[in-house]
C-alpha cells in the first residue's frame, strides 16, 4: 500500500476503552457493509443511519434523552429553535388553511408567517394567549395547527394549555407548544394534551450561549415520520459536535435551573419595589397573567424576568442598563451568564392591547452570585432614581 493510501486508512484501535461521555461521531458519508444495505438506506432514516445530516449516534443519543425528558416516544433535533417552529408549521399546514399563533409568540415567527406562510396560501391568525377554552370560537375545519407558547415571549403570560389542547383535540386539530421557557424539567406539554413540544435547545438545554439548536418531541409515530420526512426535504439536521455540546449541557441542566430559579426569585422583591418599574413579569408572581395555570401545570419557574418601566425612564435607560456590569447586553438567554435585553417600545401585539407604553427590559438570570446581581441591578436603579429626582425638580 502506498503512503498516500495509508494516510486514508486510519482507524481507532479496537479494545475495551470506555469513557463516560457519548462520543462525537462526525459524518457526512455513512458506510454500509454491502450494496444491498446501501440501496436500502432510506429505511434507516428513522432509527438507523443513512447520511450524516439525518442522524449520527451522537444526535440520536441526544434525541433519545430529549424524548425521555419530554415524556415523548420520539424526538428530532434541527438546526435551531426557530427551525423547529418553521418545520412543524410547514409540515402541518397546507394552502388554504389557517394557523393560529398566540399574540405573544416568539417574535421572528411573525415575519415567517406573514411573508413566507402567506405566500403559500396559509393564513396566520393571532389570538389572545389567555383565551383558554375560548379558543373553540376561532377553530374550524380550515384550521390546520394551533401553536401555544407558555409563558410567552417577553410578556410571560401563562396559557391554559390543557383547555386549549382539549378544544383543539375535540375538532381533530393538531397543537404544538413552544416549551423553551420552562424546558421539559419544568413543564411537560405532552402530558397536558399538546401533540408536539418544541424547544429552543439554544437556551437552557445547551445552557452556555454557544450552540444554536432546536428540538421537537412527540408521541405519534406517524406524525414523527412525517416531520422527519419534512426535515429531510428541507435539509434539516445538526452536527455531531453540536449535539455533543448539548449532551454536555443536559448533564447540568437540573442544577443550573435550580440555582437560576432560586436567584431569580430572590430578586423579584427588589425589582418590584423600585418606582421606575411599573410591573414585573415572572410566572411565580401572584399577579402574573396565568399565575394559577402556572401553579397547576408547571413544577417551577426559570430565570427570565421582564420589567415594564415607566415612560420617563427612556432618556436614561441606556445609561442605567450599561451600568449593570454583571449583565451582558444581548438578545438570547438561558446561559450561565446573565443577559439583559432592552426594547424601546412594547413588543408588537395585534390581537390584544399592548401591555404598557414604557420601555421593556428583560433579564435572563445566570449563575453569578445573587448578591453580585442585586448589586448590579442597584447600580442601574441608582441612575433611574437620580433621573427621577431631577425630573421632580424640573416640574
Ligand atoms: C430563542 C427562542 C426561539 C428560537 O430559538 P433559536 O434556537 O434561537 O432559533 C424560539 N422560541 C423561543 C420562545 C425562544 O426564546
Question: What does the pLDDT read at residue 261?
Answer: 98
Q: How many CB atoms lie within 10 A of CB 338?
A: 24
Residue 103 and residue 88 in one domain: yes
SS3 percent helix, strand, coil of the chain, rounded to 5, is 40, 15, 45
Q: What are phi and psi of 101, to 5 degrees?
A: -125, 140
The answer to whether 19 and 27 are in contact (CB under 8 A) is no
Q: How many structural domains does the chain have?
A: 2
Comparing C-alpha atoms, which of 254, 364, 253 is closest to residue 303? 364
Give the C-alpha separation, 205 to 213, whole Å.
10
Across 50-54, 265-269, 344-348, 360-364, least confident range: 344-348
Element at 309 (helix H, strand E): strand 304-309
Across 34-48, 50-64, 288-302, 342-356, least confident range: 342-356
Instruction: Tell me 132's DSSP state.
Output: G
Distance between Cα 93 and ligand 1 center (Å): 21
Closest ligand 1 atom to residue 201 Cα is 7
Burial 98-126 (b: 16+ CB within 10 A, else e): bbbbbbbbbeebeebbeeebeeeebbbeb
In a domain, 305, yes or no: yes
Q: What would the grid cell of residue 268 be?
A: 423579584
CATH assignment of the domain containing 300: 3.90.1150.10
- Is residue 376 scored above 80 in pLDDT? yes
CA dihedral of 73, 76, 77, 81, whole degrees rounded to 10:
-80
Q: How many CB atoms lie within 10 A of CB 181?
A: 26
Residue 43 and residue 178 in one domain: yes
In a domain, 31, yes or no: yes
| Residue ranges of E strands in the chain | 74-78, 98-102, 123-127, 143-149, 174-178, 196-200, 214-218, 277-281, 304-309, 328-329, 339-343, 360-364
Distance between Cα 6 and ligand 1 center (Å): 46
Task: Say which residue the cell 495509508 belongs to.
Answer: 6
**Domain end point (choices 247, 271, 306):** 247
Residue 207 and residue 265 in one domain: no
In a domain, 4, yes or no: no
Residue 239 and residue 335 in one domain: no
Give the C-alpha separation, 255 to 387, whole Å.
39
Burial 226-264 (b: 16+ CB within 10 A, else e): ebbeebbeeebbbbbebbbbbbebbeebeebbebbbebb
Q: What would the grid cell of residue 389 be?
A: 429626582
Domain containing 258 equals 252-394
Question: What does the pLDDT read at residue 347?
Answer: 87
Q: What would the grid cell of residue 252 be?
A: 447540568
Q: What would the grid cell of residue 149 be?
A: 407558547
Residue 33 and residue 167 in one domain: yes
Across 11-15, 103-107, 148-152, least confident range: 11-15
pLDDT in tens, 12-26: 888 888 899 999 999
Residue positions counted in the chain = 395
- Is residue 395 scored above 80 in pLDDT? no
259 contacts: CB under 8 Å, gap ≥ 6: 367
Give the C-alpha separation, 309 to 172, whole Å.
42
Shortest-distance Cα residue to atom 1 of ligand 1:
200
Distance between Cα 152 and ligand 1 center (Å): 11
Question: What does the pLDDT read at residue 380?
Answer: 97
Distance between Cα 66 and ligand 1 center (Å): 17
Residue 178 and residue 262 in one domain: no
Residue 256 and residue 188 in one domain: no
Residue 95 and residue 174 in one domain: yes
Shortest-distance Cα residue to atom 7 of ligand 1:
81
Cis peptide before 362 (omega within 30 of 0): no
Give the C-alpha separation, 242 to 237, whole Å.
11
Give the C-alpha separation, 395 to 389, whole Å.
10
Residue 64 and residue 163 in one domain: yes
Strand-strand pairing, 143-149 and 174-178: parallel
Task: Say which residue the cell 459524518 belongs to.
Answer: 27
- Mean per-residue pLDDT, 241-266: 98
- Average pLDDT for the chain: 96
147 contacts: CB under 8 Å, gap ≥ 6: 85, 89, 99, 100, 101, 102, 105, 109, 175, 176, 177, 178
Shortest-distance Cα residue to atom 11 of ligand 1:
106
**Domain end point (choices 188, 220, 247):** 247
The answer to whether 241 and 112 are in contact (CB under 8 A) is no
- In terms of phi and psi (left: phi > 0; alpha: psi -120 to 50; beta: otherwise), the region of 177 is beta
- Mean per-residue pLDDT, 168-179: 98
Q: How many CB atoms lie within 10 A of CB 307?
A: 25
Question: What does the pLDDT read at residue 12?
Answer: 86
**Whole-number Cα distances in Å, 222 to 45, 65, 135, 190, 367:** 14, 20, 26, 16, 41
- Is residue 287 scored above 80 in pLDDT? yes
In a domain, 7, yes or no: no
Residue 223 and residue 295 in one domain: no
- Is residue 217 scored above 90 in pLDDT? yes
Per-residue pLDDT band for 388 (boundaries 50, 70, 90) equals confident
Q: What would the grid cell of residue 165 be?
A: 389542547
Ligand 1 site, CB within 6 A: 80-82, 106, 149, 153, 178, 180, 200, 202-203, 212, 214
Comparing C-alpha atoms, which of 142, 67, 157, 65 is closest to residue 99? 142
Give the C-alpha separation, 60 to 57, whole Å.
5
Closest ligand 1 atom to residue 181 Cα is 13
Residue 320 and residue 214 in one domain: no
Q: Of the residues 81, 156, 333, which should be mutated to test ligand 1's pocket, given the most ligand atoms within 8 Å of the CB?
A: 81
**Domain end point (choices 225, 247, 269):** 247
Shortest-distance Cα residue to atom 8 of ligand 1:
81
Closest ligand 1 atom to residue 213 Cα is 7
Amino acid at each position: 500500500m502506498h503512503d498516500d493510501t495509508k494516510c486514508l486508512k486510519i482507524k481507532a484501535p479496537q479494545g475495551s476503552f470506555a469513557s463516560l461521555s457519548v462520543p462525537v461521531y462526525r459524518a457526512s458519508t455513512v458506510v454500509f457493509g454491502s450494496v444491498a444495505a446501501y440501496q436500502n438506506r432510506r429505511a434507516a432514516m428513522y432509527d438507523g443511519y443513512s447520511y450524516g445530516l439525518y442522524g449520527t449516534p451522537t444526535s440520536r443519543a441526544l434525541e433519545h434523552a430529549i424524548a425521555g425528558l419530554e415524556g415523548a416516544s420520539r424526538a428530532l433535533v434541527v438546526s435551531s429553535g426557530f427551525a423547529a417552529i418553521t418545520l412543524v408549521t410547514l409540515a402541518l399546514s397546507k394552502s388554504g388553511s389557517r394557523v393560529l399563533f398566540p399574540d405573544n409568540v416568539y417574535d421572528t415567527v411573525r415575519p415567517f408567517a406573514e411573508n413566507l406562510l402567506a405566500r403559500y396560501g396559509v393564513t396566520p391568525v393571532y389570538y389572545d394567549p389567555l383565551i383558554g377554552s375560548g379558543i373553540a370560537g376561532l377553530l374550524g375545519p380550515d384550521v390546520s395547527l394551533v401553536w401555544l407558547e407558555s409563558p410567552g415571549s417577553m410578556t410571560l403570560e401563562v396559557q391554559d394549555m390543557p383547555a386549549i389542547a382539549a378544544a383543539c383535540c375535540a375538532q381533530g386539530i393538531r397543537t404544538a407548544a413552544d416549551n423553551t421557557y420552562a424546558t421539559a424539567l419544568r413543564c411537560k406539554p405532552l402530558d397536558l394534551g399538546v401533540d408536539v413540544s418544541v424547544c429552543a435547545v439554544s437556551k437552557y438545554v445547551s445552557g452556555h450561549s454557544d450552540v444554536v439548536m432546536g428540538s421537537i418531541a412527540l408521541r405519534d409515530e406517524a406524525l414523527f415520520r412525517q416531520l422527519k420526512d419534512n426535515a429531510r426535504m428541507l435539509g434539516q439536521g445538526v452536527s455531531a459536535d453540536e449535539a455533543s455540546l448539548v449532551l454536555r449541557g443536559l448533564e447540568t441542566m437540573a442544577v443550573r435551573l435550580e440555582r437560576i430559579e432560586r436567584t431569580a426569585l430572590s430578586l423579584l422583591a427588589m425589582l418590584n419595589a423600585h418606582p421606575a418599574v411599573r410591573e414585573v413579569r415572572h410566572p411565580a408572581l401572584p399577579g402574573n397573567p396565568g399565575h394559577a395555570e402556572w401553579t397547576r401545570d408547571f413544577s417551577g419557574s426559570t430565570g427570565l424576568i421582564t420589567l415594564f418601566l415607566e415612560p420617563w425612564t427612556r432618556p436614561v435607560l441606556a445609561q442605567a442598563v450599561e451600568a449593570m456590569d454583571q449583565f451582558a447586553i444581548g438578545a438570547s438567554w438561558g446561559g450561565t451568564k446573565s443577559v439583559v435585553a432592552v426594547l424601546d417600545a412594547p413588543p408588537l401585539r395585534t390581537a390584544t392591547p399592548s401591555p404598557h407604553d414604557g420601555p421593556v427590559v428583560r433579564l435572563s438570570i445566570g449563575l453569578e452570585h445573587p448578591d453580585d446581581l442585586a448589586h448590579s441591578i442597584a447600580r442601574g436603579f441608582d441612575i433611574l432614581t437620580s433621573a427621577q429626582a431631577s425630573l421632580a425638580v424640573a416640574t
